[in-house]
A and B are shown apart, each in its own frame.
Chain A
Amino acid sequence: MGAVEVPETRDRDLIERLLDGDEDAFRGLFHRYAPSAKALAQRVVRQPHLAEEIVQEAFTAVWKDPGAYDGQRGSVRSWLMGMVHHRAVDLVRREEAHRRRVEAAIPQALEEEADHADEVVEQLAAPDERRIVRAALADLPDEQRRVLEMMYFDGLSQSQIAEKTGIPLGTVKSRTLLGMRRMRGALAEVER
């Protein structure tokens, strides 16, 4: 996996311009990240119209207060996705019905994602980033990757994962930590 140019400098420049109300800067940020943001929200909440609402909420927050971004706490892209993920998980935790939908949909959803792996719309958004993250995920041991996917993409808590899979809660916790450490290391390695 070779090193690639990370567009973080460009993103921070867009945020700087956004502080001055530059609409073109907002359009640039939106075109780069909104499709991935919608994919994330849609994966978590499983309903396209709710995913659109979440994306609109998150990007509206960026437009209204770009100063909320703190460069010391990470990249622009992670900040954006964090806002979207937080809203999406918050929504599904409030919907008991969602839990039942997820229970029925998880095996299918994971398979669907694998099926779509070759259908990357390269021209849409952040293709290099997608390749890097997928490679890092693929390098994880299966049991760690599954825990991370269920937690992040399906919005399940650690105890819900333990209940669903029959894995002891302590094991879920240790797999979470080991998986995240490994992902963090792999992604940082690519950046160097």
Chain B
Amino acid sequence: MTLDHSLVEELMSANALGGLDDDDTALLLRERAAHGDCAECRVIETGFAETAGRLAFALTPVPIDDSMIDRILASPREEPLAPVAATAADPSDELSERRARLPRAWQALAAAAAVAAVLFVSVGTLARSTTTVNLVSSSQRVVAFEGSNAEATLAMAYTPGEPGAVFWGSGLRDPGAGLVYEIWMIEDGEATSGGCVTPTDGVIALAVDASIGSSEAMAVTSESSDCPASPTGPVVFSADLNTVL
């Protein structure tokens, strides 16, 4: 099936400039999820992002104090991320501790999500299309998100009709200084925040109380650390829940 990209292109042109309003941001998230692993979408998005980035050079440069370099170089660097397969297949004690810190009600779901992460890695993936795997019980679902970073995996475990969900990811990059990842539930074009999280050593383990309910799609964006009420940053992961089996 050939998808129409006219709406996506219009939304992405404004998104690259930082000019989307909240409702259009939610619409873009939904469209992105609906298009799934879409090569043309990536070409459009990359092309507009490149164009927008270059607009900055129209401005006259402003001298900047060289001492800033030394202040930056004095800050500690990130340790390289552990290989994804090793992280997922052989969870460390630290990860076990992190799971143990999750609210008790979510521990079973967290375990299911971790199993799902192993499954995804073991088949050499983040699956390029949204996938569901039934685990533990037939009512529980695990959804794999799509993302532009092929080394990263992100899965969500939830039970339809019941509040809450657990997110489990590995191989994620640090979102950068002052930034976090924010999870969004999208329904009727409205994006509702499911919370913010920063990966530790590339790993996310997060239980949220928000109800997935009848959300049509999920998305994860990069946002400022104050966790804004509406999405403004680029989409890092997305999942179309309507395609879940």
Binding site for B on A (CB under 8 A): 21, 23, 26-27, 30, 34-40, 42-43, 48, 51-52, 55-61, 63-65, 67-68, 70, 72-75, 77-87, 89-91, 93-94, 113, 116-117, 119-121, 124-126, 129-130, 132-134, 137, 148, 151-153, 155-159, 161, 173-174, 176-177, 180-181, 183-184, 187
User: B149 to chain A: which residues have CB within 8 Å?
Assistant: 70
Report how many residues on chain B are interfacial, defined by Cβ distance under 8 Å. 59
Contact of B13 among A48, A86, A180 (CB under 8 A): A180
A35 to B176, CA, bound (A): 20
Which of B86-94, B157-165, B224-232 interfaces with chain A? Answer: B224-232
Which of B28-36, B52-60, B110-118, B187-195 interfaces with chain A? Answer: B52-60
Contact A35 B62 (CB under 8 A): yes
Contact of B58 among A51, A63, A134, A184 (CB under 8 A): A134
Contact of B53 among A42, A77, A117, A177 (CB under 8 A): A77
Question: Given A119-B60, A180-B17, do A63 and B233 touch, yes or no (CB 8 Å)?
Answer: no
Contact of B61 among A38, A133, A151, A152 (CB under 8 A): A38
Is B75's beta carbon under 8 Å from chain A? yes
A25 to B79, CA, bound (A): 19
Contact B69 A173 (CB under 8 A): no
A77 to B18, CA, bound (A): 17
Contact B53 A78 (CB under 8 A): yes
Contact of A86 among B55, B58, B234 (CB under 8 A): B234
Contact B57 A155 (CB under 8 A): no
Contact A173 B60 (CB under 8 A): no
Contact A89 B232 (CB under 8 A): yes
Contact B58 A137 (CB under 8 A): yes
Question: Given A35-B64, A176-B17, do A65 and B71 touch, yes or no (CB 8 Å)?
Answer: no
Contact A70 B148 (CB under 8 A): yes
Is B83's beta carbon under 8 Å from chain A? no
User: A43 to chain B: which residues have CB within 8 Å?
Assistant: 59
Question: Given A70-B149, A77-B53, A94-B226, do A27 and B63 touch, yes or no (CB 8 Å)?
Answer: no
Contact of A81 among B46, B54, B73 (CB under 8 A): B54
Contact A158 B50 (CB under 8 A): no
Is B104's beta carbon under 8 Å from chain A? no
Contact B58 A38 (CB under 8 A): no
Could you pull out 18 A-B pairs where Cβ atoms are within 8 angstroms?
Answer: A30-B72, A38-B61, A39-B61, A56-B68, A57-B177, A58-B177, A64-B75, A78-B51, A82-B49, A82-B52, A86-B222, A94-B224, A94-B226, A158-B20, A177-B9, A180-B51, A183-B55, A184-B50
Question: Given A26-B73, A90-B224, do A52 and B68 touch, yes or no (CB 8 Å)?
Answer: yes
User: B73 to chain A: which residues have CB within 8 Å?
Assistant: 23, 26, 63
User: A177 to chain B: which residues have CB within 8 Å?
Assistant: 9-10, 13-14
B190 to chain A, nearest CB (A): 16
Q: Taking each of B56, B77, B78, which has the highest tally of chain A beta carbons within 10 Å of its own beta carbon? A: B56
User: B65 to chain A: which residues have CB within 8 Å?
Assistant: 52
Is B24's beta carbon under 8 Å from chain A? yes
